[in-house]
């Protein structure tokens, strides 16, 4: 039996052992490229579903890349055009 999915005050899914599968794993360079290119276009929820990661970790990684000046570097990589 799957435990009930719960959401926080912002509508993000709280940690659930069955979702998402990549919770806690490091981001690959390809995932960082996707995140950098599509976060502003598709939004946090769509990117989190595409990468099988929690919305909170997607937002945190995006803000981290932005504050470290790495966002532009990853958005220029040629994984996705």
Q: What percentage of the chain reaches a pLDDT higher than 70? A: 84
Residue 34's φ and ψ, nearest 5 degrees, are -60, -45
Using alpha carbons only, give the angle 43, 44, 47 rounded to the nearest 5 degrees. 85
Residue 37 has pLDDT above 80, yes or no: yes
- Cα dihedral value 30, 32, 33, 37, nearest 10: 140
Position 6 scores a pLDDT of 79
Position 20 scores a pLDDT of 64
What is the count of structural domains for the chain? 1
H, E, C per residue of 30-50: HHHHHHHHHHHHHCHHHHHHH
- Provide the domain limits for residue 46: 1-81
């Amino acid at each position: 039996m799957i435990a009930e999915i719960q959401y926080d005050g912002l509508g993000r899914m709280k940690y659930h052992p069955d979702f998402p599968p990549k919770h806690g794993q490091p981001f690959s360079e390809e995932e960082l490229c996707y995140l950098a290119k599509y976060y502003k276009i598709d939004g946090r929820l769509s990117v989190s579903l595409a990468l099988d990661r929690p919305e909170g970790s997607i937002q945190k990684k995006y803000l981290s890349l932005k504050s470290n000046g790495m966002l532009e570097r990853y958005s220029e990589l040629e994984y996705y055009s």
